[in-house]
Structure 1
């Protein structure tokens, strides 16, 4: 397999630029505009029979590029179960994988082909774990016949995992070229720089994924409920991005006539000073349009380097902390993670809201993290395939720029170089519990709004929201992708 297949050329970069400009013009500006855009549908949804909606088959204008009968993550799980069965029967997996066994599985033909691909890919990873690289290469050669960057979600996710597995073999055999090593050291490629330039538009586009809006709403609503009577509120956001989610709480504060807000302060914490400054200007302008007393400050720092004096806290402020997909970045350094949790506790927030990926990709055992990660990415590829089918350029940027680097890091890197790690809610419960931080109920939208946020059209039946304790697990076609939870500091007796 040509390890250069997954690289994106300069000409493709120009293509991304041109195509992205077309799609940017049709993107909604922020989450508030998305709500306004969907608002007329709420009344209709209230009177429609939701049971009928959920029983319908989701439609997709690009249905030819996906397997509609079984989700991608479901195909991976079926292949994992079949592989275990083969091991219990002491069967020769390589010989079995070389045959066309999909037709005997009882699955429809289009799903059977993907099932064969998934089993061969999982078997290749097993052989690599056992350092049986010749067998692994043979299995990957079989996969090469079915994988495709332009196929359905399972074929696309398999493409990038197969590329990463091949590179892992090449690394083990010392076949990675010095040019490739230097390329990695040099930093971002042209297309990665394009992705950075388009980051605001990427985030707006990603907000069209149903549970992204739902996550933002539940997080903001939980904070809003917690500070309902506070006159001075200080929100600390680690990784604020474009800040559009805060427009929801700002608008709510602006019409809180029974207990007028005296002042709202938002502190953004991150490493990109220009981006945070731009976000601050935009939020300040928004606050002015709704006559909200507001100030914005930034703290430029890596999370591991933060100290309590980095924050301008005042005695009469009610503090709330939002950690949106940030804690995982400290998983490679447990001591720094512990120090960060202590820092958060020292801020004495009324509420801590945490949003994390719901996956256990933090095992030193290669095969365990491979199997967990391929299920997660299969669900994500499936999700963006349906939700972003009309944003082809941004879907491709996500799949061809963002995801490959994440997958390569999980599959190839070891030790401190392996930074792409995630943990499930059970891990965070145990960690927070050690520091006297306890879980509290999340605020959920009413049923008609829940339908709205999870997709007011054919995507409704694909989104899932489940309770795990007091935590909400948000997923796609039954596979959990993210968790959102709320926490308070336990009061000493």
Structure 2
């Protein structure tokens, strides 16, 4: 704690904790840009957007008051609902969560337009073994190794032992994250590196929620800098700073996803809503075919099979076709075999098949999917559609039109409810920082800090998403999440209309199982939204081809 206090008392940071703090204090190049010039170094070397990054990186500067408002909302998570334009007064309360019936609720978050990039978490298989038998000393060793590889300063290891950050330190940490994002946006690499080192004196992968999420975002910013083929330093020379960042393998990601499913309602909420929509729309159908876009697991289907087996009219014949872009699907096939046996024990016929090809307009045809007459077709997309948005929405439109041509009885869509696909880097950074701070706050409320499960969820799942949003551009950036109103427009333009979800009571019962106050549930124009303290996190919806 002494190191932090000594750091905060330095003259430079005393200036920055003033209430009138502005990002441009940390980014001299932004001042030049605002005055009509280009970001350039002392020797006149111009930072050319076309050479260093995509053209959408020029970032509007935030006013001091906007920074303060954002920081206040970030730090004071408990006040989020109160700031939500009278959220409590507009909704019906059900115990520890809230259900909304106001279809015209204002979308206060869509104004946060954003843009940045992606990079997977920097953990090798050998490092994952550390978390199997986690101890404080072992964590410190792992942190030191990561700090050395990424250029972080070792002092942050001592900060990892500390308890919650004070309010001033938390404010300072968020201010520095915004300033660092601003510096990265205007190519002030030297200032960005300095700020990242300062951030790592307070951020920690084992601290409180703010420290943990800040560590992930700082790592993402560092990774974005490393992805540039060259850095321009103060004397005008070019230095190669590219790094080979180790990728998390498929098994690690799947393990983290399963842990997220087991310990929080975010994934289970999507499965439940989609399955309920399928059950409702399939009443009276004797033969059902589900096409699952982007199948990585079979976690969703066991509960659906049991629901079908208990139908009054008897179980239907069920086929599930999983589209996957992986060649090796041996583990998926094994899981499928278990489900086939389970269905058989319940007196139900189940067929499973996989197609090792990602969803595309050429694949989404009657012939390629082997659709049969008399089957009720359902298309299921769990956290997949945002991957087809790309830099323009034309490809997403092609996917949606292809699904429409199949004539599904219902099209179930579950997505993250946030805007991580706007036109400006800083806006995307702000929105993602706000979004993931809510998620990390929920993990803080529900799981102890020394939880190995929590560590894996944060480092192997959410950190991976954060780095994709923050560090990559172009086709490599796949985490292009969008808000529920944007999905409503896109699906509507493609010829779909919403099927109102009627599983509020079931979701309410599910949430009661999680002994953690703060989860919120609302309904917006037939779509269900699951959030944390009023901040939407996940969206579930069902659609059908619009009648002409």
Q: Tell me the TM-score normalized by structure 1.
A: 0.72
CA gap 1:265/1:390 in 2 versus in 1, 3 angstroms: farther
Distance 1:179 1:166 in 2: 11
Distance 2:376 2:124 in 1: 50
Choose which of 401, 407, 416 in structure 2 pairs with 1:342.
Answer: 401
Choose which of 303, 313, 324 in structure 2 pairs with 1:270.
Answer: 324
Cα distance per residue 1:302-336 (max 9 Å; x no partner): 12352302212111111112110000111115333
Residue 400 of structure 1 corresponds to 459
CA gap 1:13/1:210 in 2 versus in 1, 3 angstroms: closer
Question: Are 1:255 and 2:310 counterparts?
Answer: yes
Distance 1:437 1:158 in 2: 39
Choose which of 407, 410, 435 in structure 2 pairs with 1:351.
Answer: 410
Q: Is the 8 Å Cα contact of residues 497 and 546 (structure 2) preserved in structure 1?
A: yes
Unaligned runs of 5+ in 1: 1-5, 20-63, 68-108
Distance 1:265 1:138 in 2: 56
Question: Are 1:282 and 2:344 counterparts?
Answer: no
Distance 1:221 1:428 in 2: 20
CA gap 1:434/1:196 in 2 versus in 1, 3 angstroms: same
Distance 1:411 1:450 in 2: 32
CA gap 1:162/1:301 in 2 versus in 1, 3 angstroms: same
CA gap 1:250/1:401 in 2 versus in 1, 3 angstroms: closer
Residue 454 of structure 1 corresponds to 511
CA gap 1:276/1:345 in 2 versus in 1, 3 angstroms: farther
Cα distance per residue 1:131-175 (max 9 Å; x no partner): 344444444343232111111111111112122223434555824
Residue 481 of structure 1 corresponds to 537
Choose which of 384, 389, 392 in structure 2 pairs with 1:331.
Answer: 389
Q: How does 1:290-329 map to 2 (within 5 A)?
A: 290-304=346-360, 306-308=363-365, 309-329=367-387
Shift of 1:356: 0.6
Residue 147 of structure 1 corresponds to 203
Distance 2:409 2:181 in 1: 46
Shift of 1:287: 0.4
Q: How does 1:336-485 map to 2 (within 5 A)?
A: 336-389=395-448, 392-446=451-505, 449-459=506-516, 461-485=517-541
Question: Are 1:230 and 2:301 counterparts?
Answer: no
Q: Is the 8 Å Cα contact of residues 518 and 533 (structure 2) preserved in structure 1?
A: yes
Q: How does 1:41-80 map to 2 (within 5 A)?
A: none
Distance 2:436 2:318 in 1: 38
Distance 1:201 1:166 in 2: 23
Shift of 1:293: 1.9
Q: Is the 8 Å Cα contact of residues 256 and 460 (structure 2) preserved in structure 1?
A: no
Q: Tell me the TM-score normalized by structure 2.
A: 0.65
Distance 2:403 2:304 in 1: 22
Q: Is the 8 Å Cα contact of residues 359 and 481 (structure 1) preserved in structure 2?
A: yes
Cα distance per residue 1:412-448 (max 9 Å; x no partner): 32222322211111211111111210112012142xx
SS in 1 for 2:299: coil
Q: Is the 8 Å Cα contact of residues 436 and 489 (structure 1) preserved in structure 2?
A: yes
Q: Is the 8 Å Cα contact of residues 268 and 276 (structure 1) preserved in structure 2?
A: no
Aligned residues: 392
CA gap 1:197/1:112 in 2 versus in 1, 3 angstroms: closer
Choose which of 296, 300, 325 in structure 2 pairs with 1:245.
Answer: 300
Distance 1:313 1:148 in 2: 51
CA gap 1:450/1:330 in 2 versus in 1, 3 angstroms: closer
Distance 1:136 1:390 in 2: 29
Q: Is the 8 Å Cα contact of residues 140 and 166 (structure 1) preserved in structure 2?
A: yes
For the aligned residues, what is the CA RMSD? 2.9
Distance 2:224 2:449 in 1: 34
Distance 2:200 2:220 in 1: 13
Q: Give the structure, 1 or 2, with the largest relative contact order (CA under 8 Å, sep 6 or more).
A: 2
Shift of 1:248: 1.8
Distance 1:375 1:320 in 2: 34
Distance 1:431 1:151 in 2: 40
Q: Is the 8 Å Cα contact of residues 124 and 135 (structure 1) preserved in structure 2?
A: yes
Q: Is the 8 Å Cα contact of residues 320 and 349 (structure 1) preserved in structure 2?
A: yes
Distance 2:537 2:337 in 1: 32
Cα distance per residue 1:336-369 (max 9 Å; x no partner): 3222111211221111110011111112311111
Distance 1:284 1:391 in 2: 38
Distance 1:262 1:11 in 2: 46
Q: Is the 8 Å Cα contact of residues 205 and 391 (structure 1) preserved in structure 2?
A: no
Q: Which moved more, 1:136-145 or 1:474-483?
A: 136-145
Q: Is the 8 Å Cα contact of residues 270 and 540 (structure 2) preserved in structure 1?
A: yes
Q: Is the 8 Å Cα contact of residues 65 and 153 (structure 1) preserved in structure 2?
A: no
Distance 2:466 2:456 in 1: 15
